[in-house]
Amino acid sequence: QVVAKTTLEKERARAKILTEIRIHRSVRNAHVVRFARCFEDAANVYILMELCSNKTLADVVKQRGKLTAKEAACYLREIVSAVAHLHAARIIHRDLKARSIHWSPYDRVGIGDFGLACRLDDDAQRKTTICGTPNYIAPEVLAGSKGAGHSYEVDVWSIGVIAYALLVGTPPFQTSDVHATYKRIRANAYEFPSVGEDGGGGTDLIRRCLAPKPEDRPSIAEVASHPLLRVGAAGWKIATPPPKPPVRAKAADDERKTKYDAVFEEKKRSLAAEKAAAENSLRPSPPRTDPPRAEATLRRAEEASREALRRSRETERARRVAAQTATETATTAARAAAAIATCVSENTVSENIVFPPLWVTRWVDYTSKYGLGYVLSDGTFGVMFNDATKMVQSPDDTWTDGAATSAATSSPSLPEGLEKKVKLMRHFRGYLTQARSAVARASYAPDVANSSSIARASKTPYLPHVKNWLRTKHAILFRLSNRTIQVNFQDGSEVLLSSEAAATVFTSKSGARGTHALAKLPADPELLRRLKYVKEVLHQLVHRA
């Protein structure tokens, strides 16, 4: 979603997009379009979301016409599951319609379009804003401030309209004139054609959801228990929603809005680093063109709330890393941290530094679904799946789990049960291969004198691979099978660290690169600050292991 900043000059418009971002970002549900990140440049605000390329529910209805009760129930179960999750978080969508139900490539539907969504301070609160899509607006919304206000029941009304559209083929109040449509909604004037009922009690659910008075409509839990939603899935029941959040203080919202306004008016800088991260976290390695410090102003508006989420993710990632190879990771991390600690103030240097010729050149983080894919400097492709398994493919199409030679095999003789992962691996490889043109050259290039080391490395008794990885607030860290530690920072700088070679390769934000013995580091505050950060992260890994 791209929002031009020329449309955000008014305070109301800025508050609206901030609310949309804040609400959508807080929702995590399989049937809600996933919010990935937001960033901006001088002209626009960008909201990056899950790609849903296979049409919307409106397109399905337009092509198919009315659906069977079994088909409609399948869609409604997923919609109701998502709405129940929203209501449990005191969120009202307020714009549910067939066109906001997106059809993903993974055979499921996902609710999107949170531009009109709101979060209640408590369950007794009522909203009076007139908003929504004409065919789907509830009568109490049309009443605006003249009525008693609206709440969760407006989403139930919209579900009734969607159910009618699925079973009949058109929305119940649709006319060629908006005012005529509103008149029919206020009068509750709709009817069922003879083809409307399809054996699942659909008309009963629709009549209950489209009750003129909000208090007469079923709750979302009651909708979920209706017989129509069990057509084709007799044992289905809605998942227990998370507990509702505590009542929020309005002053906190006002404070966040004030902070956002102040930040929004600051002079904007280039967001080159943020744009690069937005491409599915595919970060082209240096040389870089001196990107200024990224300043995600929208994020700073809610820094306090995001810190908790960030720390939670970092803790979870660190826990997974430690669980996979705790002893091995701790040993390597301890060696690297010790090397930094003992060498940072020494004055002796080794003349011939030979850095292990293996590093990550490109990667893509798709842990929201499958895992992390990467390419090494020797052409090896690998994937670390979310179930903690690994798959590695050499340039000559040899496959392995990364453990030993005995696990290596050519693709025609792959063991049974790996077909899905092999397919995913090939998708990762295809994406990373296509993205190669975005990378000017490798992040670290060894001297020509050391090029024979690369050939020798390719003949090791196992395929090189990433053993572990960790994403922190400021960087992404890779631990390679040759015990190299690689850290790529969000500002574009990079550190490669080898305890065995007692050396580090540092690439600055401007793309300047240097190889240094840990025994004699230059008096570069940028390098020393990053090494200190790496040391702290490695110490945390050692303690958690």
Residues 6+ apart with CB under 8 A from 441: 285, 287
Residue 524 a catalytic site member: no
Both structure tokens of 319? 């826990």
How many degrees, rounded to 5, is the angle at CA 360 between CA 355 and CA 365?
155
> Which residues have C-beta within 8 Å of that of residue 127, sequence separation ≥ 6?
92, 94, 118, 120, 149, 150, 151
Contacts of 182-185 spanning 24+ positions with Cβ under 8 A:
182/134, 182/137, 182/142, 185/137, 185/138, 185/139, 185/142
Contact assessment for residue 117 and residue 94, using Cβ atoms and an 8 Å cutoff? yes
Do residues 270 and 290 touch, judged by C-beta distance below 8 A?
no
280 conformational bin, left if phi > 0, alpha if psi -120 to 50, beta if neither: left
Alpha-carbon distance values, 252 to 69, 230, 256, 302, 459 (Å): 46, 42, 6, 11, 60
Out of 59, 95, 122, 198, the active site residue is 95
Instruction: Give the residue among 156, 175, 172 at the shortest CA–CA distance from 164.
Output: 172
CB 355 within 8 A of CB 501: yes
What φ, ψ does residue 315 adopt, rounded to 5°? -65, -40
Amino acid letter for position 286? P
Q: Token pair 């595919």 is at which residue?
A: 282
For residues 111 and 170, give the distance between their C-alpha atoms in angstroms, rounded to a whole number: 20
| C-alpha closest to that of 25 among 49, 6, 44 | 49
Residue type at 48 in one-letter notation: L
The pair of three-digit structure tokens given for residue 304, joined into one six-digit string: 């306090």
Burial of 512 (C-beta count, 10 Å sphere; 0-12/13-18/19+): middle
Any idea which residue has 């929305």 for tokens? 171
Helix then strand then coil, % of the chain, to nearest 5? 40, 15, 40
Contacts of 94 (CB under 8 A, 6+ apart): 116, 117, 118, 127, 131, 132, 141, 154, 155
Report DSSP state, residue 150.
B
Residues labelled as active-site residues: 95
